[in-house]
Structure 1
Amino acid sequence: MHLATIRLDHSTRAVRRDGDRLVDLGYPDVGAYFAAGTPDERAGASYPLDGADFAPVVPHPSKVICVGHNYQNHIKEMGREMPAYPTLFTKFADTLTGAFDDIEKPAETDALDWEVELVVVIGQEVRRADETQAKAAIAGFTVMNDISVRDWQFRTVEWTQGKIWEASTPVGPYLVTPDEVGGLAPALEVSTTVDGQVMQRDDTGTLLFDPVMLVQYVSTIITLRPGDLIATGTPAGVGHARDPKVYLVGGEEVTAAVEGIGACVNRIVKA
């Protein structure tokens, strides 16, 4: 099943893809649909897929947890040691944007970078999950491009200020349920292209910490609620690790894709 949140005039709606139509689920967004316990669809409208305006899959998650240093090749390119535990940082709802929205390059940086990520979407509340509970809590997966402002990120040893720029992080367009992508620890190709040039390519089977483990780990710290997002990290190929470094300057089309789930396709525009 493919779920999404679309924009309609001044509101949003949770929808399920059915061929070339998007069927209204009766809730304002996918997060609200999961919070209601994924009830049966209410009889209602459907909308054409063609021309749909996709909001972030979950526009207002209670939390967005991101994992750094989770692909071996990326850890090596950044000059880090293999971590014993997940490296976590957070984003805010205001950081998120739609899968096909333009992304404004902040005027304050000349070091804008890309990071494709597989994202876990939580479907039910869970705290201190064991393996069985963690599996049950995963509603599905989506795509994120963790656009990073590298010069601000590395001003200090703590990364947050380089990761939370307004409307900089596309998420979507769809949440895809685990049954359609090979289960809860799928081996899916992830890639980033910039103006058609492949910059990142790996597969999620090489994650150090898989989705189930991450739900267990994060839920030990804090309650995970329906619609919460866990971004599982990015593979090698980021612009900051290249020699010479390569950054987004404005005008590029960046595609962050995960096999079987979809892609965020965004134009970088100058402020």
Structure 2
Amino acid sequence: MAIIRFEKNGAATLGVRFDNEVVDLSEIAPHLPTDMAELLQQGGAEAVQKAIALAKGSKSRIAYEGLKLLPLAMKSVKTICLGLNYHDHINENKREVPQYPMVFFRSASSFVGHGQPLVVPKVSAMLDWEAELVAFVGKRARHVSEADALDYIAGYSCFNDGSIRDYQRKTAQWTIGKNFDGTGGFGPEFIPASQLPAGAKGLKIECRVNGEVMQSANTSDMIFDVARTVHLMSECLTLEPGDLLVMGTPGGVGIARNPPLFMKAGDVCEIEIEKIGILRNPVVAE
């Protein structure tokens, strides 16, 4: 089972998906938040399990098909992204293996949900794909050991760290190229950590554009895995419940191809992570 966030009567709500049916949490538990970050802020992984338990006991269900899915979390305190975190991506960029993660932040204003369009902006035609695992922090973490770090992760989802490459390279910092409106695909659902291998390791991760495989790797290929990342970030700042860790992309990005290849209006981009799901977004022009 998984948690989704969807639109109902023009507003957001959370639901628990059981195969092709969904229990609308706003119907059976109107006191619960309508954002995954806020649910985790309310009680971490325990709050998630309580919501799932409530849903299991409900006979009131709606069809999953046809729901407008929304980005899972818009109220996170922090979205921390890692760059150059897969060995093959390091190689295609002709970089040295980093001794410390390359970190940047991403704003929720760039997020789009599963099935919603990624936007090629007016000012650039260089919208690139990046298949990524996203980990949800479930409880406050400060100076956490690597051995204990996964205790602080509540669950996982898929992310497309869509990047406007020419703007990313205008400055030494990547922030502007990573924060264009409508470029960060996020979803389709939250999978509790208890349902996956520790640290979501050993899972196939893939990007396809119009059905053609562009990236194909394994989450075990990360240089800094989830546990190591939690440990290192918590040395510097307090990770809060609902914070997001977006774990970097494998090789195969469009900018590294010869000639470079980018998404354009009419394309469909899919990010698939084994046991987590498929994030699918059409592409439109601004």
TM-score (norm 2): 0.90
Secondary structure at the aligned position of 2:188 is classed as coil
Residue identity matched to 1:30? M
1:82 paired residue among 89, 94, 97? 97
Confirm or deny: 8 A CA contact 1:71 1:206 kept in the other structure: yes
**Distance across 1 between alignment mates of 2:236 and 2:176:** 22
Confirm or deny: 8 A CA contact 1:63 1:93 kept in the other structure: no
**Distance across 1 between alignment mates of 2:137 and 2:250:** 22
Corresponding position of 1:213 = 228
Query: Is 1:201 equivalent to 2:227 in the alignment?
Result: no
2:40 paired residue among 34, 37, 61? 34
Q: Give the deviation of 1:185 after TM superposition.
A: 4.4
**Distance across 1 between alignment mates of 2:114 and 2:233:** 25
Query: Is 1:191 equivalent to 2:206 in the alignment?
Result: yes
Moved over 6 A (4+): none
**Distance across 2 between alignment mates of 1:132 and 1:83:** 22
RMSD of aligned Cα (Å): 1.6
Corresponding position of 1:122 = 137
Confirm or deny: 8 A CA contact 1:189 1:203 kept in the other structure: yes
1:131 paired residue among 146, 154, 160? 146
**What per-residue deviation string (whole Å, max 9, x for no partner) do you get for residues 194-224 of structure 1?**
1111110000011111101111111222211
Q: Give the deviation of 1:132 after TM superposition.
A: 4.8
Residue identity matched to 1:201? S
Q: Give the deviation of 1:147 after TM superposition.
A: 0.5
More off after superposition, 161-170 vs 216-225:
216-225
User: Which consecutive residues of structure 1, in runs of 5 or more, have no partner in the other structure?
Assistant: none
Confirm or deny: 8 A CA contact 2:158 2:276 kept in the other structure: yes
Q: Give the deviation of 1:60 after TM superposition.
A: 2.0
User: Which consecutive residues of structure 2, in runs of 5 or more, have no partner in the other structure?
Assistant: none
Residue identity matched to 1:9? N
Confirm or deny: 8 A CA contact 1:62 1:225 kept in the other structure: yes
Query: Is 1:164 equivalent to 2:190 in the alignment?
Result: no
2:250 paired residue among 235, 240, 251? 235
Confirm or deny: 8 A CA contact 1:14 1:33 kept in the other structure: no
Confirm or deny: 8 A CA contact 2:38 2:76 kept in the other structure: no
Corresponding position of 1:16 = 16
**Distance across 2 between alignment mates of 1:129 and 1:46:** 40
Confirm or deny: 8 A CA contact 2:38 2:75 kept in the other structure: no
Secondary structure at the aligned position of 2:23 is classed as strand
**Distance across 2 between alignment mates of 1:65 and 1:47:** 34
Residue identity matched to 1:238? V
Q: How many residue pairs were aligned?
A: 271
Assess, with a 3 A threshold, how the Cα gap between structure 1 residues 249 and 20 changes in structure 2: closer, same or farther.
closer
Residue identity matched to 2:117? D
Residue identity matched to 2:63? P
Confirm or deny: 8 A CA contact 1:34 1:123 kept in the other structure: yes
Confirm or deny: 8 A CA contact 1:187 1:203 kept in the other structure: yes
Q: Give the deviation of 1:140 after TM superposition.
A: 1.0
Residue identity matched to 1:34? L
Q: Give the deviation of 1:124 after TM superposition.
A: 1.5
**Distance across 2 between alignment mates of 1:18 and 1:179:** 16
**Distance across 1 between alignment mates of 2:139 and 2:62:** 27
Confirm or deny: 8 A CA contact 1:153 1:163 kept in the other structure: yes
Secondary structure at the aligned position of 1:172 is classed as strand
Assess, with a 3 A threshold, how the Cα gap between structure 1 residues 23 and 93 changes in structure 2: closer, same or farther.
same
**Distance across 2 between alignment mates of 1:48 and 1:35:** 28
Confirm or deny: 8 A CA contact 2:117 2:182 kept in the other structure: no
**Distance across 1 between alignment mates of 2:22 and 2:219:** 28
Residue identity matched to 2:38? A
Considering fraction of residues, name the structure with more helix. 2
**What per-residue deviation string (whole Å, max 9, x for no partner) do you get for residues 82-109 of structure 1?**
0001110000111111021111210100
Residue identity matched to 1:159? W
**Percent identical across equivalent pairs?**
32
Confirm or deny: 8 A CA contact 2:37 2:76 kept in the other structure: yes
